[in-house]
Structure 1
């Protein structure tokens, strides 16, 4: 079917819920959920976007036309709109999870009607079905990483029992795509959830300043560890490692020499591809390398601050480490081998950072109910409503 050939159309399907969610406060008469959006986290997103756009303008003004430079302003304007309307926005993590799951299902339902949805096995990998399911996309990884993130988002939002219907489908899809990055990310998130669940029952923590300080220190170190791992991958791997990604990283670091602090701009990658300094058919394949190349060490620092603040906001709202750390885990692991977010672009992955800064929209639990899950809180609320006169 010819109309299925335009991949861009289906990438925009994921962007529509994001844009509609941002614009919903303009027409909604609903009372906004309490603390549904972490304002401080959005501020760090805007700082990262502003830095990347500024570097791109300074570094690439002569090589890129004005229209291409100005289009980089669009993501920031949308985030600013979210910030200005967050006091009235009905958007919360539950709403986002449902919308994104539906949006992800649209291309999946169209797979039976599309041509060439499988990629043949190559020398580096082969799926359990003797091929890799790409669906309506050019790469199996694009769908795979979204399936992994949606699955984790569902688990964090609705709990295990309400997500059981999704788990078999997600596992089957990840096996079909043979996206090993997505598989590792899902396993890492599930492992983090299990460790935190066991730790909460084995280690008795208090509610004083010391306990709060320890948790904040952990959330500060957590994203830094992943930056360190990404650096080890880039500087110590052989060119053939990670299915050739290490060779791309090595070339990118050579091109970046002398600009390690500020970077070469988001469009610098394409410009260097055109000049032959970078492989013409390959992207950065690492969120950390992409940010380092585009905005230098400063971009990585702001990125770490964003992840830290998002997890701290989740801890403050949910009264539990698990939601923020589990979502952070899948995001940071995916970022090791894929560019899961471009802060200076609107694309099919723009919803991912939103899921990190948005909460469930209920009031923060009282000290006596800090360990309660979302399901228990909902049950208690339902009992109160039924007993009310």
Structure 2
């Protein structure tokens, strides 16, 4: 049965891959901004292949990928100068927030782990540089969020097709869970949780851009993967994400904010919905630390043991953190389990202190704020951020000072913050309204809007 499932995943992924590529080729999308397409492929597919150990691991490969990105950045810069495609500093600068988080954690790690070998510190810095280059490519290139969604979906499908080349894509059941097929599907990755996260991100991307037929075809392999991995955290996070999107969709239909034009009532509703979602995200952050501080060793499949020992090791260094390489060192001497924090919030707190946690919250709210004036976009952006927030409760989904497949999880936030897409042929996701000036409608109904497309 497991072999049948493995071949079904690979076969349906191949069909979906061919279908999507064919649609993009017929639409002429692949001929536009070739350096931009290659840049997205290098970051997304390169990271996934690196994490799956389908390409050589280590800094040489990271340097190759970084060199490719730099070269493509130059091409994008030249093209943007020729076509005069620009993004304001005020708008585009926020897309550097993920790099800012990584920069804080790099500095904390360097200061608290001065004995770290130079090549290892350079590897941490390389991850920061890749995020900066990715943000600059998003600012200078012609591709936008819908194109990124396509690349993420296609990259995950490529990985699922290539997984058939591995001898064993399954691991035995354990005392905590067992998949519906008598084992747990891991694909080419060392953990089923990583594969489930990538499958969920692909599902959200498919909902963000696809036409009905291609979307339905693409959902089959990633949906089957999500079932076969039996990753409850990813399943719960995706359910919360889709639930929030459904609620926002119902609100939008009720208040008429999908209609063209921007009247006073929809404007106020947009602000209220932004405040509501931001409050929910803040509650998730608070819940995360409550879970960490109130856990017992057996909580959440023994994750509580990791959290308790991690907080004990952190001691009084909440404000500054100790750096993630200190976590690794404490593992070698037996003071911490041989696992990473299993909480995005604990990972940031340990690696970069309160500043890193606050920057993540600012990143989420800034992305929501960017999307709040378009009802359709806000639904999807809010759902994606809710997915990351819930996922981080029991999973560390992104290490800011390491480049791997999980780096792609913050790329949608970068592209949304840039807030521009030129010449895109498929604008299902848009942010057309950016408020230039807003006067109190009780005094005047003058609301001036500048049209911008994502």
Using the TM superposition, give the Cα deviation of residue 65 of structure 1 relative to its aligned residue in structure 2, in angstroms: 1.2
Instruction: Find the partner of 1:365 among 425, 432, 448.
Output: 432
For 2:241 and 2:311, the matched residues in 1 are separated by: 29
Q: Deviations along 1:208-262, whole A, 9 cap, x unmatched?
A: 6644543443343233222111112212233212111111011101111110111
| 71-80 or 139-148: bigger deviation | 71-80
Of residues 351, 367, 382, the one that matches 1:325 is 382
Judge which range, 43-52 or 19-28, deviates more: 19-28
1:183 counterpart residue number: 235
1:257 aligned onto 2:324: no
Q: Is the 8 A contact 2:160 2:187 kept in 1?
A: yes
For 1:26, which of 74, 82, 85 is the aligned residue?
74
State the partner residue of 2:54: 9
**Aligned in 2, Cα 1:328/1:277: closer, same or farther, shift over 3 Å?**
same
**In 2, Cα distance between equivalents of 1:287 and 1:333:** 10
Match of 1:158 in 2: 210
Instruction: Provide the residue aligned with 2:369 in structure 1.
Output: 312
Structure 1 residue 364 displacement after superposition: 4.2
Structure 2 match to 1:227 = 285
Secondary structure, in 3 states, of the residue corresponding to 2:189?
A: coil
Runs of at least 5 residues in structure 1 that lack an aligned partner in the other structure: 368-389
Q: Secondary structure at the match of 1:201?
A: helix
Moved more, 170-179 or 122-131: 170-179
Please tell me whether the aligned partners of residues 14 and 349 of structure 1 are also in contact (alpha carbons under 8 angstroms). no
- Name the counterpart of 1:197: 249
Change (3 A) 1:244 1:119: same
Of residues 242, 249, 269, the one that matches 2:327 is 269
1:27 is paired with a residue whose SS is helix
Q: CA deviation at 1:143?
A: 0.6
Pick the aligned partner of 1:340 from 397, 406, 411: 397
Q: For the Cα contact (< 8 Å) 2:242–2:383, is it kept in 1?
A: yes
TM-score w.r.t. the length of structure 2 is 0.71
Question: Would the alpha carbon gap of residues 150 and 34 (structure 1) be closer, same or farther in structure 2, given more than 3 Å must change?
Answer: farther
Tell me, in whole angstroms, the C-alpha distance in 2 between the residues paired with 1:103 and 1:120: 27
For residue 141 of structure 1, what is the aligned residue in structure 2? 193
Taking the aligned partners of 2:176 and 2:112, their CA distance within structure 1 comes to 36
The structure with higher relative contact order (CA 8 Å, sep 6+) is 1
- Alignment-derived partner of residue 58 in structure 1: 111
Match of 1:97 among 149, 163, 179: 149
Give unpaired runs (5+ residues) of structure 2. Answer: 1-48, 258-262, 423-429, 435-454
Cα distance, 1:330 vs structure 2: 1.4
Of 74-83 and 187-196, the range deviating more from structure 2: 74-83
CA drift at 1:94: 2.1
Q: How many residues align?
A: 363
C-alpha separation in 1, matches of 2:238 and 2:174: 24
- Residue number among 275, 279, 290 corresponding to 2:337 in the alignment: 279
Equivalent-residue separation in structure 2 for 1:10 and 1:16 (angstroms):
11
Does the 8 Å CA contact 1:11/1:348 hold for their aligned counterparts?
no
String of CA shifts for 1:300-359, please: whole Å, max 9, x gaps. 111100111122123357774212101111111221121111111111111110112214
Counterpart in the other structure of 2:96: 43
Equivalent residues of 2:96, 2:414 under 8 A apart: no
- In structure 1, C-alpha distance between the alignment counterparts of 2:62 and 2:198, rounded to whole Å: 10
SS of 1:244's partner is helix
Q: Conserved in 2, the CA contact under 8 Å of 1:15 and 1:347? A: no
Q: Within 1, Cα distance between the matches of 2:404 and 2:298?
A: 29
Which residue number in structure 1 is paired with residue 302 of structure 2?
A: 244
| Shift in CA distance, 53/267, structure 1 to aligned 2, threshold 3 Å | same
RMSD between superposed Cα atoms in Å = 3.3
